[in-house]
Amino acid sequence: MAWLSCGFEHCLALTSDGLIASWGCGASGSLGHNDYLSYTEPKMIEPEVLKDVSYVECGGYHSAAVTKAGKLFMWGRSDVGQLGLPKDKVIMDEHGYVMKQPMEVAYFSDITVKAVALGEAHSVVLDCEGQVYTFGWGELGQLGVQNSRTFQVYKIFGTPAAKVVKVASGAVFSLALTSDGKVYSWGSGQNGQLGLGNSSNTTTFVPTLVENLSDFKVLDIQCGESHSLAVTECNSFFAWGQGFATSPSLIKHLKDLSPTKNSQKDKQLDVISYYPKLLSKVDNFQTLVLPNS
């Protein structure tokens, strides 16, 4: 196996010979087998449908693959255009628009795609020139544009000083990494996942520099559902967004710091960081904790 990606209820595995296996919930066609069946074991997507793949990615209930030739294929749910396919190219089921097997996204037919990142219901595509494209659900700013519409592909970022080399997506937010090691974020920052501080707007529609990482050259980024990670060239690891404290002694300590009258969750507390924090310094909980109420 060369690569593994997990969505909300399905998984994709890329083999070393460029084929894809999928398993999990198939109700939205997200497994790519031209059906709605769920599979408890990996099942190969037929090579006649898709082969020579170099990268795969799972979203909430949609999936994507980039071939070695830089072609983008997508499948799964497309209620808000998160597949990048026009309405006349997808089908209707009882819940909305879907594509049950991989289909090449014609918008990128003359573009060499480098990578793709999928959120809950939005998609971010990076081409080999460093241009970023977004489509899907954008109500919370996750497309990087104001007043976004469904079933439309957007070019974002304009002409940054350094080209984008990687993109990543959480559930309702996105990140981009540029060649000079800078990180930009946009979308929902409700749980601190943008790294812009709790004084900034909850929703950020324009890609915005994560200034607290500006003194470092970031080499890699990654997103979870509501948290973000970055690693720098000096092997420092940063994290921000929503996490959970599960140690009984730690939970007691945090509750003593921030008592609540309606604390029903004795086994878990939210830990929120609105700024990137060095992982070696996350014991400084006084500035990070928001107890569940």
* Within a domain: 84: yes
Structure tokens at 25: 């919930």
Q: Is residue 50 part of a domain?
A: yes
Of 78, 73, 47, which is closest to residue 60 (Cα–Cα)? Answer: 78
| Residue 18 included in any domain | yes
What's the number of domains the chain is made of?
1
User: Which among 127, 210, 229, 213 is positioned nearest to 170, based on CA atoms?
Assistant: 229
Assigned domain for 33 exists: yes
pLDDT of res. 67: 98
Residue 21 lies in a domain: yes
Q: How confident is the model at residue 200 (pLDDT cuts 50, 70, 90)?
A: low
Tens of pLDDT, residue by residue over 15-39, are: 999 999 999 999 899 999 999 999 9
Tell me the pLDDT tens digit for each residue of 150-174. 999 999 976 556 899 999 999 999 9
Query: Which amino acid is it at 185?
Result: S
Q: For residue 31, what pLDDT is reported?
A: 98
| Any domain includes 117 | no
Q: What is the pLDDT of residue 193?
A: 95
Percent share of the chain, pLDDT over 70: 84
Q: How far is CA 23 from CA 82, 137, 167, in A?
A: 21, 25, 25
Helix (H) or strand (E) holding 203: strand 203-209
Expressed as residue numbers, the domain containing 33 is 1-110
pLDDT digits (tens, 9 = 90+) for 262-281: 444 455 556 788 999 998 75
* Token representation of residue 271: 């830990």
Does the residue 222 lie in any domain? no
What is the model's pLDDT at position 37?
97
| Integer Cα distance of 289 and 257 in angstroms | 9
Tell me if 45 is assigned to some domain.
Answer: yes
Using one digit for the tens of pLDDT, what is the confidence trace for 72-125? Answer: 999 999 999 999 999 999 999 888 899 999 999 999 999 999 999 999 999 999
Predicted pLDDT at 162:
80
Task: Please tell me whether the overall predicted TM-score, pTM, comes out greater than 0.75 for this model.
Answer: yes
